[in-house]
Structure 1
Amino acid sequence: MDNIYAIIPVSKFKNAKTRLSPFLSEEEREKLLKVMLQDVTDTLKKHVDKIFIISRDEDVLKYAKSLNLDTILENKDSNLNKALKQAMKECKGKVRKVIIVPSDVPLIGKTNISILIEASKNLDFIIVPSKGGGTNMIIMKPMAIPTKFEGFSYREHVNVAERKKLNPQVHDSFFMALDVNTAQDLGEIMIHGEHTHTRKYLKELKVKVEPYRGTERLKVTRG
């Protein structure tokens, strides 16, 4: 039995990250999703036995295969949590733990993933919160809890894990908390994302960031 598999759910490339329009065009947003996924999987490949990409989008699955990743075609009439259940069923009996991560956390390499994975050998449930009350990582046995992604999922996941007596351990990471949804998030990538595919791509798009004392902390523009 392998030690740990990664599960990354990925929505359709087309029409994704609409909160970034009109700052980025549809084509640019699609490329952004691809380079972020590459950053996430490049990091995880160093630490896990296998990476599963689950999606209903054939373009996503084709791209994942080009990165030499395992793929699962998401069932019809599914949603995020059903897709994760489907993927965990695929993993159950083959692996001790799964690490569930979104595809839009390009600074994952700045977090010491190896320490978390090593700790997971002796801990039942590790969770990393995201900005705004969401969840950006769970490490647990396959099917240990039903996932509750969407909305304020961090607290829901902790509550479910406590009811299951899994003693949830929280790892607070600035870098893992940063999932990309807004131009401000892109600014953080420009500041902190050296050596990532995502920052390299944003530089190609001439994205620039400056400190700002207005309603936002950063002024993010395109040159």
Structure 2
Amino acid sequence: MRVLVPFDGRTPCSRLAPVLDSEERRALATRLRDDVLDAVRAAGGRPELLATEPVDVGVSVTVDDRSLSAAVNAALTGEPTAVVMADLALATPRALSRLFTASGDVVIAPGRGGGTNALVVRHPDFRVDYHGASCRDHRRRAHEVGATLRELDSHRLATDIDEPGDLAELLLHSDGRAARWLRDAGFQLSTGDGRVAVERHP
């Protein structure tokens, strides 16, 4: 399956600014992206990077610096296409295979907080809208165009890495490039108060 992986290389992982400086955020973002590309390939997908600036990652790259919704909609050609966000570093080939093979004109993998972390589009009239509570909006849009809709419940696809608290999920559930980079940067899990968090040591 054709798989679009949107990637904003200009100001990546901006909500991690409380714990990472700009160069560190860029370094982590590229590793998150590469982990996702690896998982897509291992699941049998054909990844295409939809990037805001040129980048050499060994896959087809389309440069489009418009908003996420505009860029993705321009790339939907009528061919069955998945869209998988570049910060889903917990995504495994098995989780992605479930997404790619799920039945439905539109298949949504909701993110925590109402977003849409991954989806499959098989209906020629469906268009994305990633602003606000996009999961709710995508349900409505599927209904409006008469598309059959399926929602996929997946912890690994629901977890994106964009807030400091998400780093604990990355350290807990991944052995990929991004998790290794975090460990090398001094981050480790902390369970001192009964809740799992991360702390950084020099």
* Pairwise same-fold verdict (TM > 0.5): yes
84, 88, 98: which one pairs with 2:72?
84
Matches within 5 A, 1:137-148: 137-141=118-122, 143-148=124-129
Percent identity reads 24
Three-state SS of the structure 2 residue aligned to 1:172 is coil
Q: Among residues 40, 60, 72, which one is paired with 2:62 in the alignment?
A: 72
RMSD across aligned C-alpha pairs, in angstroms?
1.9
Unaligned runs of 5+ in 1: none
Contact 1:14 1:26 in 2 (8 A): no
2:90 paired with 1:107? yes
**TM-score, normalising length from structure 2?**
0.91
Alignment of 1:56-67 (within 5 A): 56-58=52-54, 62=55, 65=56, 67=57
Matches within 5 A, 1:196-207: 196-207=176-187
Is 1:208 aligned to residue 188 of structure 2?
Answer: yes
* Residue correspondences, number: 201
Unmatched 5+ residue regions in structure 2?
A: none
Q: Does the alignment pair 1:220 with 2:190?
A: no
Q: Give the TM-score normalised by the residue count of structure 1.
A: 0.83
AA matched with 1:15: T
Residues 125-180 of structure 1, C-alpha deviations (whole Å, 9 max, x = no match):
11000010000111112644110112100010011112222221111111111111
Contact 1:85 1:143 in 2 (8 A): no
Contact 1:100–1:139, Cα closer than 8 Å, also in 2: yes
Within 2, Cα distance between the matches of 1:100 and 1:43? 13
User: Matches of 1:213 and 1:143 in 2, distance apart?
Assistant: 51
Do the aligned residues in 1 keep the contact of 2:99 with 2:119 (CA within 8 Å)?
Answer: no
1:56 deviates by 2.5
Q: Which consecutive aligned stretches of 4+ in structure 1 deviate over 3 angstroms post-superposition?
A: none
For 1:36, give the aligned amino acid.
Answer: L
Deviations along 1:94-116, one digit per CA (max 9) or x if unpaired, are: x4x10011100100117522233
1:21 aligns to what? 17
2:151, 2:192 → 1: CA distance?
32
Partner of 2:43: 47
Secondary structure in structure 2 of the residue aligned to 1:148: coil
Instruction: State whether residues 111 and 173 of structure 1, in contact with CA within 8 Å, keep that contact through their aligned partners in structure 2.
Output: no
